């Protein structure tokens, strides 16, 4: 069990274990040399973290911090590799997960490179607005992000 603010995975560490989030939420993030937070996304129940290091054997590419009480199952890298090797359905799900991440990052690089801050903010709010009240056609963002979180997520 991880408490809010507790580091699950640290950027640059040599760990290779894979984590499956069972409960709670965690944030994938990096910090620039001047201390500015770069926000990559939140992870919740059913999400996987640490798989990239388990696959390529390199240092962790980002930090992951618990946002609320978070329970995660840890799978050592050798067991993860056996799971990938022995279970084609899991391997395919992993490929779909990684492909989704590549598409997301491609979209974000495009946005950061071509769009003004106002447009990036609008797109980020639309991404977060996934709960719809069908009776009123209203959309909700819950939990509401702080100004700091929005700035970190749109690189401004």
pLDDT, tens digit, 9 for 90 and up, residues 65-84: 999 999 999 999 999 999 99
Residue 70 CB neighbour total at 10 angstroms: 24
What pTM did the predictor assign? 0.81
* Pairing verdict, β 63-66 and 138-140: unpaired
Name the nearest CA neighbour of 80 among 97, 64, 66, 94: 94
Q: What is the pLDDT of residue 70?
A: 98
Mean pLDDT of the chain: 91
* Residue 30: CATH number of its domain: 2.60.120.10
Helix (H), strand (E) at residue 48: strand 48-49
Residue 126: pLDDT band (50, 70, 90) is: confident
β-pair partners for 70:
2
38 is a domain residue: yes
Tally of domains within the chain: 1
Per-residue pLDDT at 47 exceeds 70: yes
Distance of alpha carbon 11 from alpha carbon 43, whole angstroms: 16
What domain range includes position 78?
7-87
Asked if 20 and 90 count as a contact pair (C-beta separation under 8 A), the reply is no
95 is a domain residue: no
Stretch 20-33: mean pLDDT: 93
């Amino acid at each position: 069990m991880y408490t809010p603010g507790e580091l699950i995975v640290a950027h640059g560490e040599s760990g290779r274990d894979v984590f499956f989030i069972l409960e709670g939420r965690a944030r994938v993030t990096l910090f620039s040399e001047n201390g500015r937070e770069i926000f990559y996304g939140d992870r919740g129940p059913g999400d996987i973290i640490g798989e990239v290091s388990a696959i390529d054997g390199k240092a962790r590419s980002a930090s992951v911090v618990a946002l609320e009480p978070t329970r995660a199952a840890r799978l050592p890298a050798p067991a993860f590799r056996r799971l990938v090797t022995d279970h084609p359905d899991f391997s395919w799900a992993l490929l779909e997960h990684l492909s989704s991440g590549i598409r997301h990052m491609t979209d974000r690089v495009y946005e950061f490179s071509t769009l003004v801050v106002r447009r990036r903010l609008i797109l980020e709010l639309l991404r977060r607005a996934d709960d719809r009240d069908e009776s009123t056609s209203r959309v909700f963002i819950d939990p509401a992000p702080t100004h700091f979180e929005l700035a970190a997520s749109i690189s401004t």
